[in-house]
Each structure stands twice: as C-alpha cells, then as structure tokens.
Amino acid sequence: MYAYFHRTPLDEAFYAEHLKERIPPVLIDAHAHYNLPEHVTNVSPEAIAGDWALECGLLMSYEDSRVYYQTLFPDTDVHQIVLPWPLRDADTVENNRYVAEIARLPHVRGLMTVRPEFSISEIEKTFAQGNFSGFKPYPYMASAVKGAEVSIFDFMPREQFALANRLHAPVLMHLPRAGRLPAPENVKEVREILDSYPNIKLVIAHFGRCFNVEYFETALESFGTDIHRVWFDTAAVLNPAVYRLAFASLDYHRILFGTDFPILLWHGKREWSGGTYHNLCRENFSWNRHTHPEDEPNYTFFVYEQLNTILNVIGGQETVRQAVFFENAKSVYFDYTKGGERV
C-alpha cells in the first residue's frame, strides 16, 4: 500500500455529510489498474518521473485495492472491473495473467490488454483461457508520449478489432491525440469502429479525456448523433461542467462510474483554465506546486470530490444513480459472460 494513503477526520466528516447516505450500497468501479511490482520492473525511473500519474499510482495489488475500497467506502460493497497497467515497458503477458486470476472472483471482471504485435490466435487463446470480459488497448503501446498523434489502429490494429467484434467483446478505449475526443481523426476512427465492428460495445475512458468542458462541447457537435452509440466512463473526471453537460446530453445508461485507481488516491481537487487542468494536492509529489497551500488542510480525497460532484448532478434521481454506479457496468462487463453465473 502507498504510505501517503490515509483517511483523516476531515475525510470522515466529508464522507458522513456528503456521501454516506447517497452512495449506493453496491457499486462497480469500472476503471482501475492492477499489477504487481514484478510486472513493471522495466518501467524506468525517468518514465515515472515524467508522468505525474505514474509517480502517484503505479502499483496496486488486489489485496491493497480491497483496503483502499474498505477505507474509502466503509458502507459499500465495491465490485471491480480489473485492468492491467497498459504500459509499453510493462510485462503485459504476466500482468494479464494476474488480472485473469483476480477475475475468477465472483464480484470481479477482467479486461485483457492487447499489444499491436500480438497475433490474433495468441489473443483469442489468452482471452478464452483468462475468461476475460473485454479488451483494454492503450496509446502507450504506440507511443510513450501522452496525447501522441497516433492512430487508434496503431495500438489496436483492425484485425484485433475484428476479433473483438467476432467475440462480441467490449473494448475500453483510451483515446490518443492532443485534441482528445473531438480531434477530427479520433472522430473519424471512432465512427469507423462503430460502423465496421457493430458487435463491440465501445467504452471511451475518461469521457474521451474531456477533463475540460470545452472539449466535450466540441465533441458533441462533431459526433452528432453518433455520440449516442458509445459508452463513457468517468475515471479521473472531476469537472462539474463536464458532468452537467454529459447528463443533459447523453442517455444516462451510457455513463459508467470509474475511479482510475491507484492514480487518484491522494487528497486534492482540480482547477481548469485555458483548455487544461491543474491538480491541487496535499501530498508532496514532485509535480505538486502547492499552488494554494492555505487550502490544503481542507482537501479531502480526490475520489470523494468526484463522487460528490456526480451525485450533486444526478440529484434525487435514484434510477439514474443506480444505473451509473452499478447497472451500466454490469450490463457492459458482468453480463458479457454467457449465462451470468458469476453475477
């Protein structure tokens, strides 16, 4: 477990006032990464230092995750969609094997990370043996640069999409390119996936990396009615304006709650300006500029801020709350196993 993770009296008070009576008794975290230290031994210190997300959250075993969830959500039974760490330098084969082991548990489903060089026969065999419930490709398999101008098909080739289509498997997609969801080439390629591989449930992670609302506004205009053909998860998204627009514009059945653990286990919040965001954080990571040190004693967990924002936007709509926090992810991932014997 990370030494910086701890629940303070302030966190307990925030939870009691804002969350305890509103969080569903059972929820599904549809986006969290699991691995062991031996899976990332080849990830260099330079790579970790160059990516704020890796510095604060590179490791999470299943056992540690249960402690995190029980500490954060003591009154909630958390089910899990388990993802590997989709890094080029990670041991993808062993990390997938670990995820498959965790996914044997009744309250867990696992997604398989694919690399562009994996053969179709190799992927299909691993997918079946691991009883996976979907795929998790990632742009890092094509470029280690965040937001690199690479094609989706550079890190998940069309023949791999064709396999997912044949298997009727969900695909959780982290989009490339600096322009995020509304980047013209992303719009074009997402449409190609939807049209060419109609059996895939395409879930776009992080609201298409629309952490700032202006990206999502542009995406709604660019996609038109096609925006209603995909699913979105909420991982790492905190912006209230994004949630207000999403719930006003999308079918709520297409929104899945996700945390992006272990990245966001710290205390803090965000500011948004100029098309980008700034993490405000109490913990002393190297990237933390302590922009508002006078406010830091009042920071609660980032995920508490995220939950409070989502619940405030949903308001008293119990059907919507149950769908976003449980039913939608169950439909996409848990119900993928034919017969549903583990649900």
Q: List, for residues 87-104, the tens digit of each pLDDT value.
A: 999 999 999 999 999 999
Residue 155, C-beta contacts closer than 8 angstroms, at least 6 positions apart: 115, 116, 137, 138, 139, 140, 141, 142, 176
223 located within any domain: yes
What would you measure as the largest C-alpha separation in the chain, in angstroms?
57
Q: State the Cα angle at 333 between 331 and 339, rounded to 5°.
A: 75
100 located within any domain: yes
Q: Domain range spanning residue 66? A: 9-336
Q: Give mean pLDDT, residues 6-31.
A: 98
Q: Give mean pLDDT, residues 148-166.
A: 97
Residue 338 has pLDDT above 70, yes or no: no
| The pLDDT value given to residue 113 | 98
3 located within any domain: no
Are 250 and 216 in contact by the 8 Å Cβ rule? The answer is: no
Number of domains in the chain: 1
State both tokens at 296. Answer: 């830091």
Residue 146 has pLDDT above 90, yes or no: no
Share of the chain above pLDDT 90, in %: 94
Mean pLDDT of the chain: 96
81 located within any domain: yes
| The pLDDT value given to residue 339 | 32
49 located within any domain: yes
Residue 342 has pLDDT above 70, yes or no: no
pLDDT class of 337 with cuts at 50, 70, 90:
low
pLDDT in tens, 212-239: 999 999 999 999 999 999 999 999 999 9
341 located within any domain: no
175 located within any domain: yes
13 located within any domain: yes
CATH code: domain of residue 311? 3.20.20.140
